[in-house]
Amino acid sequence: MSAKIYGTEAIRNVVFLGHGGTGKTTLVDAICYAAGSTTRKGSIAEGTTITDFTAEEKDHVISINTAVAHAVWKDTKVNLIDTPGYLDFAGEAKAGVRVADGAVVMVDATAGVLVGTENVWDYCEERGIPRIFVISMMDKENADFERVLGEVREEFSKDAVPLEIPIGSGDGYKGVIDLLSGQARTFDPKSHKGEYKVGEIPDELQSAYEPAYQELVEAIAATDDALMEEYFEKEAIEPARAAQALKKAMREGLIFPVVCASPERGYGALGLLERIVEIMPSPAEVVPERAADGDKEVELDGSDGGRLAALVFKTTSEPHVGELSYFRIFSGSVTAGLAAKNTTRGSSEKLGHPGIPHGKDRTEVTELHAGDIGVVAKLRDTHTGDTLTAENDSLVLPGITFPSADISVAVKSATRGDEEKIATGFHKIHEEDPTFKAEYDPELGQTIARGLGEMHLELAVERLKRRYGVEVETEAPRIPYRETLSKTAEGQGRYKKQTGGRGQYGDCWVRLSPLPPGSGYEFVNGIVGGVIPGKFVPSVDKGVQEAAQRGVIAGYPLVDFRAEVYDGSHHSVDSSDIAFKVAGSIAFKNVAPDAGPILLEPIYEVEVTVPDEYMGDVMGDLNQRRGKILGMEPKGKKQTVRAQVPLNELHRYSSTLRSITQGRGSYSMRFLAYEQAPPNIVEKVKAEAAAREQEEKK
């Protein structure tokens, strides 16, 4: 591996995106092999690809993490950012898009546009980066370039224009026609490097070539007045000028070139690498990055001479190495041993041995120029999304907008005493993957882990065991029910204890009454005549509140009620704060069961966005979950359903929605209110509470 350092104009940062299984990792591997940056073509099945190298990826035979490799072609360094395609790892894809200057969006030539394609298109739209579509798997049975091209145009943009058309498909896929050069490129079946022979277009494909060529040059000419005149005069455009205009049009979002490939055979890898070098922008050619500088926003220079601003977009941990931080330099340059400042956290760092990443390998370098991607080990307090600058600077780059975790599971230790290890391990995993979160909920008495999907959570548990030797069990999170009262009741709480010396005496009469939902707790001092001295009345209040936290029906906090202390008695010697606090607690326990206690369940407002064809199934499922449908409204090509659903019915809803809609549905939820639970739920909750109490007594 060469450790040559490349300048800003000789760098391309390209992220590979698409639905899971479209061949991103295989194509990245094929490009590296074609360029000579690896000595063999890897295999996902064998776990030998450059960018799928972790134990979890090899075990599950899918991409889980964003990884960076690079290939050098025509003295240009191409940083290849390989991302997972499954929704559970969408945060990794967003991180890859954040540091790229262009994207390769891969679409299966048989399955066509899927939900993962739709999602990554949205990520690219947010960033406004140029895109090349690769219609992949052209060697598979039933591959259909024209059909999938039509889907791409319908779903994303009518400005998706082929740069090449395939020669054959399925087992007969053997090459492409390069529309600009007017040549046929026939792949060498004995080579996995995507090498091809250039020749004349076969006579039988001339009828397909001519309209495709016309469409391409007209699309390019339409973006440039001078080219339009040249095209009208000559009915052709010189290929070099066309490529230059295409690059500009791509950068402005006016054209999205389409090519085709067979990643497994390596067909198209070399051609795509050439396209990337030729028409993808370098970091010097993109819209300058902006950063916060105190209370103002500034435009970064983007060159080596600019103020240093680098964004950490990925953090991993390796045995015997420690934490690795992957960063993209948006301005300035990095040299070995550089003293830097983490302006996100206000800490100082030293970039001791920066390197160039290539899958799991790293090549140490003395410097990295503006626009490049690097990796450094053992930063003390730097994590994903942080900005690194010069020591005396204050720039802060926009971070990475990660998707919110919408699936939760409760986690408990399989072995007593491992709780601290679990907390430490989950914290480390969160630092590497901000879309995973875990924290102890004192009300529920559970550690709740949250992620983007069931597989995401399963892998977090696997990592915990693999890296920290801790096994855990999972269960459904408990629901934060509440209790309240439905009528007024009153009664006495009396506490008397004699221990030989000074005793304890407290006596109070308390009236409990319901309040409107959302009112909270109210305490009223109704004592007259000093039957309870004023200094002890707050202790009664404390006793009532503490007892209310333990509830009446199933141990959940009692809310929205008034407690009035209106009578009682005291002892001049034995009465004390603690005695009246206990008396208040006893009074609550005596009175609350007679005040019509009821169980309240949390209700969430849910917005579900789905294609029209799934509306019936989605609404039927919401009804089965005791949901109340509030309405529907169009949202682009989809419909959004609003409903109110009990939280108790939403466990694993994300997985069900994906199944119903083939992954095309999405939803958001927010807490709305508490409502009275139906009798069957009350009985279930009471039984669960009794079982927990028995378990705790063991």
> Which DSSP string corresponds to 40-62?
S---TTTT--SS--SHHHHHHTS
Measured CA to CA, the distance from residue 422 to residue 442 in angstroms comes to: 16
Q: What is the pLDDT of residues 581-610, one digit of tens each?
A: 999 999 999 999 999 999 999 999 999 988
CA dihedral for 80, 86, 92, 97, sign (positive or negative) = positive
**CATH code for position 613:** 3.30.70.240
Q: Are 608 and 640 in contact (CB under 8 A)?
A: yes
The closest of 201, 194, 344 to 269, measured between CA atoms, is 194
The amino acid occupying position 338 is L
For residue 356, being part of any structural domain is answered with yes
626 and 533 part of one domain: no
Strands (E), 515-646: 521-525, 561-569, 597-611, 628-635, 638-646
Instruction: State the first-to-last Cα distance of the chain, in angstroms, to the nearest integer.
Output: 62
Give residue 237's pLDDT band: very low, low, confident or very high (50, 70, 90): confident
Measured CA to CA, the distance from residue 361 to residue 478 in angstroms comes to: 44
273 and 172 part of one domain: yes
The mean pLDDT value of the chain amounts to 92
Among 266-275, 315-324, 578-587, the least confident range: 315-324
Q: What is the pLDDT of residue 79?
A: 98
Q: Which of 426, 450, 475 is the last residue of a domain?
A: 475
3-class secondary structure, 557: coil
Q: What is the pLDDT of residue 685?
A: 93
pLDDT at 2 over 60: no
For residue 667, being part of any structural domain is answered with yes
505-515 core/surface letters (b: 16 or more CB in 10 A; e: else): bbbbbbbbbbe
Quote the number of domains for the chain.
5
**CATH code for position 12:** 3.40.50.300
Measured CA to CA, the distance from residue 163 to residue 215 in angstroms comes to: 10
524 and 467 part of one domain: no
Give me 291's structure tokens: 């950063």
Q: Are 462 and 56 in contact (CB under 8 A)?
A: yes
Q: Are 283 and 8 in contact (CB under 8 A)?
A: yes
467 and 487 part of one domain: no
Among 54-58, 636-640, 674-678, the least confident range: 636-640
DSSP 452: S
Q: What is the pLDDT of residue 500?
A: 67
Which ranges in 36-144 belong to alpha helices (H)? 55-60, 90-98, 115-127
pTM: 0.85
Q: What is the pLDDT of residue 1?
A: 42
Measured CA to CA, the distance from residue 578 to residue 570 in angstroms comes to: 13
Q: Are 132 and 259 in contact (CB under 8 A)?
A: yes
Q: Are 580 and 496 in contact (CB under 8 A)?
A: no
Q: What is the pLDDT of residues 121-158, one digit of tens each?
A: 999 999 999 999 999 999 999 999 999 999 999 999 99
For residue 237, being part of any structural domain is answered with no
pLDDT at 435 over 90: yes
Q: Are 186 and 265 in contact (CB under 8 A)?
A: no
**CATH code for position 425:** 3.30.70.870
Tokens 């927010």 belong to: 670
In percent, the amount of the chain with pLDDT more than 70 equals 99
451 and 550 part of one domain: no
Mean pLDDT of 285-314: 95
For residue 166, being part of any structural domain is answered with yes
Q: What is the pLDDT of residue 75?
A: 94
88 and 128 part of one domain: yes
Mean pLDDT of 227-237: 80
User: Containing domain of residue 461, as a range?
Assistant: 407-475
Measured CA to CA, the distance from residue 232 to residue 273 in angstroms comes to: 32
The closest of 181, 359, 174 to 268, measured between CA atoms, is 174
Measured CA to CA, the distance from residue 142 to residue 416 in angstroms comes to: 55
Measured CA to CA, the distance from residue 173 to residue 32 in angstroms comes to: 22
145 and 53 part of one domain: yes
455 and 488 part of one domain: no
For residue 218, being part of any structural domain is answered with no
Q: What is the pLDDT of residue 698?
A: 63
For residue 246, being part of any structural domain is answered with no
Give residue 215's pLDDT band: very low, low, confident or very high (50, 70, 90): very high
Q: Are 346 and 305 in contact (CB under 8 A)?
A: no
- Phi/psi for 329 (5° steps) reads -90, 115
164 and 31 part of one domain: yes
The closest of 252, 271, 57, 58 to 184, measured between CA atoms, is 271
Q: Could you write out the DSSP letters of every residue in 293-308?
A: ETTEEEE---STTSPP
Pairing of strands 597-611, 638-646: antiparallel
CB atoms within 10 A of CB 149: 21
12 and 107 part of one domain: yes
pLDDT at 39 over 70: yes
pLDDT: which is higher, 664 or 362: 362
For residue 212, being part of any structural domain is answered with no
430 and 459 part of one domain: yes
Q: Which of 475, 505, 525 is the last residue of a domain?
A: 475
Q: Which of 449, 475, 501 is the last residue of a domain?
A: 475
Q: What is the pLDDT of residue 557?
A: 96
pLDDT at 194 over 80: no
Strands (E), 155-224: 160-162, 164-167, 175-178, 183-187, 196-199
Mean pLDDT of 554-559: 94
27 and 133 part of one domain: yes
- Strands lying side by side in the sheet with 472-475: 437-441, 446-451, 407-413, 472-475
For residue 697, being part of any structural domain is answered with no
3-class secondary structure, 276: helix
**CATH code for position 578:** 3.30.230.10
